[in-house]
Amino acid sequence: MLLELRRIEVNFGKVAALRGVSMAVSASSIVTIIGANGAGKSTTLRAISGLAPLNGGEILFRGERIDGLFPNKVASKGIAHVPEGRRVFPEMSVEENLRTGAFLRQGSRDIEKDLRSVFEMFPRLEERRNRNAKTLSGGEQQMLAIGRARMSKPALLLMDEPSMGLAPVVVDEIALTIKRIASGGVPVVLVEQNAELALNLADYAYVLENGTVSLEGEAGRLHDDDHVKAAYLGV
């Protein structure tokens, strides 16, 4: 297993956001976490990145404990996180945002090559490379956040609701990108409220309810599950 969560718990004061969540992500796959508002999806990703400290359980990446590490140390292990709400650096240019994604890397030739490949993936970013990120549209900001994560050459990519607030055409483009990233050998943990999209993209899925995993399985099988259909697919 590339990534393993073992009964992790996260509390915010008296509120228990995660109560013993276990998950596993293997190399070369898309794993999705779906669930309602406040189920604990973002908290799960934030726990992996070190942004939300654990109150119990452990997190292993390539067999090594990473819980308790500062977020920048987790990043240096090869985990990139595209956070909820994109969180691009608003007063920095598109290019500066991307180069900041490569902060931990040395060797300028490789970085230039990856910059070019991000621009090939998202030509619109290249057209706007000298503009401040805050001037971009929501879809472009999402592309920038994904591009920035790619610039770190991650071994695992965490994505928190990349489709949020985007027009359907843009959602399709982002979905295609996620597929391309995964087939390029970078496993993705995808958090989504758009369960239809997520279950179509993913190989394996977890359903979070009130901070616990209520259901898990092959994404295709969950897509046909009656409870999932009623609660998340609106059919």
Ligand X SMILES: Nc1ncnc2c1ncn2[C@@H]1O[C@H](COP(=O)(O)OP(=O)(O)OP(=O)(O)O)[C@@H](O)[C@H]1O
What is the spatial distance between Cα 166 and Cα 144, in angstroms, rounded to a whole number? 14
Q: Are 211 and 200 in contact (CB under 8 A)?
A: no
| In the block, residue with structure tokens 């997520």 | 198
Comparison of 42 and 207: residue with beta carbon closer to another protein: 42
For residue 84, state whether it binds another protein (rule: CB under 8 A). no
Give the contacts of 174 (CB within 8 A, at least 6 positions apart): 139, 142, 143, 146, 162, 163, 166
User: Which stretches of the chain bind ligand X, using CB under 6 A?
Assistant: 12, 15, 17, 35, 37-43, 84, 193
Indicate if the alpha-carbon torsion angle 188, 193, 197, 200 is positive or negative: positive
- Tell me: does residue 194 bind Mg ion (CB under 5 A): no
Candidate ranges 78-86, 122-130, 143-151, 226-234; the one touching Mg ion (CB under 5 A) = 78-86
Helix (H, G, I), strand (E, B) or coil at 211: coil
The single residue among 65, 103, 113, 137 that binds another protein, judged by CB under 8 A, is: 103
Instruction: Give 116-152 as a DSSP string.
Output: HHHHHH-HHHHHTTTSBGGGS-HHHHHHHHHHHHHTT
| Residue 83 binds which entry of Mg ion, ligand X, another protein, none, CB below 5-8 Å type-dependent | another protein
* Binding of another protein by 217 (CB under 8 A): no
Size of the site for Mg ion (CB under 5 A): 2
Residues 110-149 that bind another protein (CB under 8 A): 134, 148
Do 187 and 26 meet the contact criterion of CB atoms below 8 Å apart? yes
Stretch of residues binding another protein (CB under 8 A), selected from 29-37, 96-104, 207-215, 217-225? 96-104
Nearer to ligand X, 84 or 126 (CB): 84
Closest approach, Cβ 73 to ligand X, in A, equals 21
- Provide, rounded to whole angstroms, the least separation between the CB of residue 71 and another protein: 4
Q: Residue ranges of the alpha helices (H) in the chain?
A: 41-49, 71-76, 94-101, 108-121, 123-127, 138-150, 168-183, 195-201, 219-223, 226-228
With binding defined as CB under 8 A, does residue 88 bind another protein? yes
For residue 108, the 8-state DSSP code is H
CB of 23 to ligand X, least distance (A): 14
Element (H, E) at 216: strand 212-218
Q: Which of 35, 40, 57, 101 touches another protein (CB under 8 A)?
A: 101
Q: How far is CA 113 from CA 97, 109, 110, 140, in A?
A: 16, 6, 5, 21
Query: Is residue 42 involved in binding Mg ion (CB under 5 A)?
Result: yes
Residues engaged in binding Mg ion (CB under 5 A): 42, 84
Residues engaged in binding another protein (CB under 8 A): 49-51, 70-72, 75-76, 80-81, 83, 87-92, 96, 99-101, 103-104, 134, 148, 152
